[in-house]
Structure 1
């Protein structure tokens, strides 16, 4: 059974547990008689119990008024075919374009604003202000799906949403496709030359180590993370000094603060001691899509493709 997860970015997500509790029921005397509501729900796979970050969550019927307050969950819901069931998403859900974006916040959730939309399922990435308990008091079903620390845990979250929304088959297809694509990218990545890299989260600068979800994506390509040796690396997200990065002199620099903070090779070159970095001199500063680098849904394949392309370019030099 999966342990309860925390809301911290490196929180654990365990194995999906699903229990179908419904019973089929048609009238014995008349095979052509219409099914009762309970039998129709059972035929669709409901009730269903999903083990989420907030424990076992049972949904009696297929949700038709879903609110997603997690950009990753929003992307996943639309990828698995649950888009028509989504009535509102948070203000940070930028993809896909057709997602019904609102001013609802996942960082500062407002119970009254959420309940006013009459949801039959709310999906969250963190339990800010004890929102799970508050919605529970009002009998609003909630799935807490925090950030995973392993790729397999991201697959489990997709499976969670597939089961909870009645889209299990499509979710399974998405997971299989992701595994296939990531496997091909990893297998085809050039590994003849050991390359080092630095992944920047923001201009502080904070970085991500190999122990994080994002770090494991990089590890698929045989890269060595310079942040692993930084003070405070055990937390997964160390704050680095300019001197540390300069001394580490990574072969590749990946920027996940492009859209938010307009970072580029030119802005890095202006930082004290960074102008001589190998990544800058050799034009190996890669500007990532901030969203791709901070979400753990189906588009991690696109992130992996960007990393694979950069590794191929660097290895060819």
Structure 2
């Protein structure tokens, strides 16, 4: 886990000390008593500058950002989940959730430094350092958090913690990750793991899949499922391209489709593929569509993915 370090911890300690003194002293018309809201705001302000250890190293955010640009759909979801939504002024063209995120034509795949700078951000969050954009933004003094795709759940939690610290929403970020852990663990614990079910997760209709070494594969493994893609002749970094013959021979008990939006796949389209009409999952109605976005992001909605898997396993185990 990447550690989150807060700079000038003494400043925060000093703020708490001042708050204590204010509560014990008498108040006047010019100095109204502190309320929980004002005290919280003061504590957040005192937490800056903050240094976060992100994918691009130690990043110092000098003050609580109010002009955040997110070039990562996952980061966008996380920012809104931890209460930083009002601080976000622009998100990339792939950020589809939440619906009220300020979507623009900015690209996270091919980020344009000049277009980003034009938004006058005081914090930029992205998942890829394409074209040296991190260095270009750093050159003009804009703090940048590089939060790449998580390879395991702990990295997902850590990235949410990074965003919480960098935006002044640490407490809410901690709550979000705690809730994620609790819910995912509850789903996994209740799954009937003695069913010994196999599965196929389809990324697209090529079909590409995922092995158990990937972030998505690790989620499935928590439910005691056997991944047919683990036996693929070419793992391709965890994302093998499987032949229709390979899937037909493996005959998975469950099929999860993460390409219903991009590629319009369904149980009916699968049944038309050569040799797939007789698959057990199709005949027994064990084909489960999963929202493409939820299945490809590593933010708070991983809980929704875990819930979908849980429901599928319980239905199949009957």
TM-score normalised by the chain length of structure 2: 0.89
Cα contact 1:198–1:225 (8 A) shared by 2: yes
Equivalent positions of 1:1-317 (< 5 A) are 14-21=1-8, 23-24=10-11, 43-233=45-235, 235-316=237-318
2:210·2:217 contact (CA, 8 Å) conserved in 1?
yes
**How far apart in 2 are the matches of 1:111 and 1:54?**
16
Query: Aligned equivalents of 2:236 and 2:101: distance in 1?
Result: 37
Superposition deviation, residue 301 in structure 1: 0.5
* Displacement after TM superposition at 1:41 (Å): 8.2
Aligned to 1:10: none
Q: Distance in 2 between matches of 1:16 and 1:237?
A: 29
Q: Which moved more, 1:17-26 or 1:269-278?
A: 17-26
Question: In structure 2, what is the Cα distance between the partners aligned to 1:232 and 1:152?
Answer: 27
- Whole-Å separation in 2 of the counterparts to 1:295 and 1:81: 19
Between structure 1 and structure 2, the one with the greater Rg is: 2
Quick check: 229-238 or 259-268, which moved more?
A: 229-238
Q: Which moved more, 1:268-277 or 1:156-165?
A: 268-277
Q: What is the rounded CA distance, in whole Å, between the counterparts of 2:44 and 2:226 in structure 1?
A: 50
Offset at 1:192?
A: 2.3
What is the total number of aligned residue pairs between the two structures? 298
Q: Could you give the per-residue CA deviations for residues 193-234 of structure 1, whole angstroms, max 9, x where no partner exists? A: 100000011111110110000001101110000000102226
Deviation at 1:91, TM superposition (A): 0.6
Q: CA RMSD in A?
A: 2.1
- With 73-82 and 265-274 compared, the bigger mean Cα shift is at 265-274
Cα-to-partner distance string for 1:40-69 (whole Å, 9 max, x where unaligned): 688531111100000000111111100000
Measured in 1, the distance between the counterparts of 2:265 and 2:175 equals 36
Give me the whole-angstrom Cα distance separating, in 2, the residues matched to 1:112 and 1:285: 45
SS of the residue aligned with 1:192?
helix
Structure 2: how far apart are the matches of 1:19 and 1:104? 30
SS of the residue corresponding to residue 103 of structure 1 reads coil
| Cα distance in structure 2, aligned partners of 1:86 and 1:17 | 21
> TM-score when scaled to structure 1?
0.90
Structure 2 counterpart SS, 1:156: helix
| 5+ residue gaps, structure 2 | 32-41
Does structure 2 conserve the Cα–Cα contact (< 8 Å) formed by 1:41 and 1:61?
Answer: no
The Cα shift of 1:17 comes to 3.0
